Amino acid sequence: MALIRGEKGHYPCPICLVPRDQQSNLLRFHTLRTAAHTQEIYETGLKLTAMEREELLKSESLRNVAVRDI
């Protein structure tokens, strides 16, 4: 959950990919968020420039989290 942008993101739900403007529509089914899909998006972003990566992650309501070696 630490990767999502929250209520101001395009997809604010931590469980599914419901668009922000459709949250009140309970008659539709939305694709669930999965770790595999999130990892795929993140790995795709690693091959892009910092600006392109931010745009990709933002479009999916994700945040870039840098991993450092300790």
pLDDT tens, residue by residue, 30-61: 889 888 998 999 899 989 999 999 999 988 88
Report DSSP state, residue 60: T
Query: Measured between alpha carbons, how far is residue 2 from residues 20, 26, 38, 50 in Å?
Result: 18, 25, 12, 20
* pLDDT number for residue 29: 87
* pLDDT number for residue 70: 53
Map out the domains of the chain as residue ranges.
6-59
- pTM (predicted TM-score): 0.71
| Cα-to-chain-centroid distance, residue 10 | 8
Helix (H, G, I), strand (E, B) or coil at 53: helix
